[in-house]
């Protein structure tokens, strides 16, 4: 789906000295690169505080811990997404309430959020799925009206921008009270191992999250809070410092690949190409189509036989997972799980390989 070894070859000249420097200084934990990376990412996103941590799931956990929501509080999140939000809620004795998503953008539908608000609701977690922001203007208005916290899960849309109706532009992850991201290797800004970060413009929350990520201590061996140990390795920070410089270029390549796919598939009635939401830019973490006619399993098999990888994000909605099962019915989420398919959208794809994938996918779709 993404050729990380080809990407490494391209960046090797910058990466190896950065890695070597960490090894030579032997400051593997909390080395200077960690703070430097946090500062650079803050400048890049325009979000005041960036608190690096061990992974994107920890970033969500730290966010919830900092809010100290009463046990049993309800958290509204999408039913069509990665499992992390639901998992963290359960671990912290919060109740994830899954809401329906928009058929076209796959993102949390603001209208559906309101249906689930009860006196116990304390937070909303919009997940900016596949590279595109949720309707944050509407979501923030709902949150304000009902006095709810908003945590943006921005693991998939780093660098995306939200367009507000007054013409202003806001960064994904920097609109709600807290935002989170992941540097898992396959993410748009990927490390060579695990990594994550929490974003906030709130000074008080930032200080608390930083403390929580460091065993609840501000001063060594003085533990003010019950925290966790969640750090970004110095090595990963050094790698991310190099990769951040290329993020805009990589995003542009992803967008170009997406445009080429769009062009190839736009007139094929058997599939629906990814809709561009007019209130967001799209950084194409994934290029995700919907198969409207034909058997998706056969399509995946035929692609594989032609040497083309594809993925189904996500095959089972969160509310149907064994660990989180409830009696909710979310037909749009359930239908998306049956119809979506993502094609390769790497940053190292040649024009020929894009054309080959487009041509082959088109042939397969027409036959299946
Ligand atoms: C990847 C991802 C996460 C979790 O990040 P990890 O670093 O793997 O813990 C959370 N939410 C979404 C939407 C993701 O895509």
Chain Cα centroid distance, residue 97:
19
H or E, element range at 75 = strand 74-78
Task: Please give the number of the atom of ligand 1 that sits closest to the Cα of 59.
Answer: 9
Ligand 1 centre distance from Cα of residue 89 (Å): 14
Asked if residue 230 has its Cβ within 6 Å of ligand 1, the reply is no
Asked if residue 81 has its Cβ within 6 Å of ligand 1, the reply is yes
- Say how far apart CA 208 and CA 224 lie, in whole Å: 10
Q: What CATH number does the domain located at 4-244 have?
A: 3.40.640.10
Asked if 190 and 184 count as a contact pair (C-beta separation under 8 A), the reply is yes
pLDDT at residue 36, rounded to an integer: 98
- Say how far apart CA 262 and CA 358 lie, in whole Å: 9
Name the H helices within the chain.
4-25, 32-45, 56-67, 84-91, 110-115, 136-146, 203-213, 234-244, 247-265, 296-305, 331-339, 351-367
Retrieve residue 164's tokens: 């507000």
Domain ranges of the chain: 4-244, 247-367
Short-list 209, 216, 224, CA closest to 52: 209
pLDDT tens-digit readout, 152-196: 999 999 999 999 999 999 999 999 999 999 999 999 999 999 999
- Give the pTM: 0.97
Ligand 1 centre distance from Cα of residue 125 (Å): 13
Residue 246's φ and ψ, nearest 5 degrees, are: -100, 0
Q: How confident is the model at residue 2 (pLDDT cuts 50, 70, 90)?
A: confident
Q: How confident is the model at residue 348 (pLDDT cuts 50, 70, 90)?
A: confident
Retrieve residue 110's tokens: 């603001």
DSSP track, 89-150: HHHTT-EEEEE-B-TTT-SB-HHHHHHT--TTEEEE--B-GGGB---HHHHHHHHHHHT-EE
Helix/strand/coil for 331:
helix
Which pairs count as long-range contacts for 265-272, CB under 8 Å and 24+ apart, including other chains? Answer: 265/289, 265/358, 265/361, 265/362, 265/365, 268/362, 268/365, 268/366, 269/293, 270/294, 270/365, 270/366, 271/365
Asked if 123 and 149 count as a contact pair (C-beta separation under 8 A), the reply is yes
Task: Please give the number of the atom of ligand 1 that sits closest to the Cα of 84.
Answer: 10
Q: Is the pLDDT of residue 239 over 80?
A: yes
Asked if residue 61 has its Cβ within 6 Å of ligand 1, the reply is no
The protein residue whose alpha carbon is closest to atom 3 in ligand 1 is 56
Ligand 1 centre distance from Cα of residue 166 (Å): 31
The protein residue whose alpha carbon is closest to atom 2 in ligand 1 is 155
Asked if residue 188 has its Cβ within 6 Å of ligand 1, the reply is no
- Tokens 């200080």 -> residue: 207
Provide the mean pLDDT of the chain: 97
pLDDT tens-digit readout, 271-310: 999 999 999 999 999 999 999 998 999 999 999 999 999 9
- Say how far apart CA 119 and CA 70 lie, in whole Å: 12
pLDDT tens-digit readout, 63-111: 999 999 999 999 999 999 999 999 999 999 999 999 999 999 999 999 9
DSSP 330: -
The protein residue whose alpha carbon is closest to atom 5 in ligand 1 is 56
Q: What CATH number does the domain located at 247-367 have?
A: 3.90.1150.10
Task: Please give the number of the atom of ligand 1 that sits closest to the Cα of 194.
Answer: 7
pLDDT tens-digit readout, 118-142: 999 999 999 999 999 999 999 999 9
């Amino acid at each position: 789906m993404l050729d990380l070894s080809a990407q490494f070859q391209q960046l090797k000249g910058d990466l190896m000295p950065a890695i070597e420097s960490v090894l030579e200084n032997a400051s593997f934990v909390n080395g200077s690169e960690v703070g430097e990376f946090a500062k650079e990412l803050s400048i890049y996103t325009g979000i005041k505080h960036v608190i690096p941590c061990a992974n994107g799931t920890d970033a969500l956990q730290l966010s919830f811990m900092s809010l100290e929501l009463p046990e049993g509080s309800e958290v509204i999140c999408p039913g069509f997404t990665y499992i992390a939000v639901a998992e963290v809620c359960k671990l912290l004795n919060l109740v994830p309430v899954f809401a329906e998503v928009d058929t076209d953008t796959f993102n949390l539908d603001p209208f559906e959020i309101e249906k689930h608000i009860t006196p116990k609701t304390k937070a909303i977690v919009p997940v900016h799925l596949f590279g595109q922001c949720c309707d944050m203007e509407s979501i923030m208005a709902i949150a304000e009206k009902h006095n709810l916290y908003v945590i943006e899960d921005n693991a998939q849309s780093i660098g995306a921008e939200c367009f507000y109706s007054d013409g202003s532009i806001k960064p994904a992850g920097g609109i709600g009270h807290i935002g989170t991201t992941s540097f898992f290797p396959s993410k748009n800004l990927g490390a060579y191992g695990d990594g994550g970060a929490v974003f906030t413009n709130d000074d008080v929350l930032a200080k608390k999250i930083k403390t929580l990520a460091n065993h609840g201590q501000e001063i060594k061996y003085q533990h003010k809070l019950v925290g966790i140990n969640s750090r970004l390795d110095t090595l990963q920070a050094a790698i991310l410092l190099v990769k951040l410089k290329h993020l805009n270029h990589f995003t542009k390549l992803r967008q170009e690949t997406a445009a080429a796919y769009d062009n190839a598939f736009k007139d094929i009635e058997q599939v629906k190409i990814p809709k561009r939401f007019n209130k967001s830019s799209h950084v194409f973490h994934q290029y995700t189509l919907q198969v409207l006619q034909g058997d998706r399993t056969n399509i995946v098999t035929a692609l594989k036989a032609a040497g083309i990888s594809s993925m189904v994000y996500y095959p089972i909605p969160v509310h149907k997972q064994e660990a989180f099962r409830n009696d909710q019915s979310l037909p749009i989420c359930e239908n998306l799980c049956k119809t979506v398919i993502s094609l390769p959208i790497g940053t190292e794809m040649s024009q020929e390989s894009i054309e080959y994938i487009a041509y082959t996918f088109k042939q397969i779709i027409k036959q299946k």
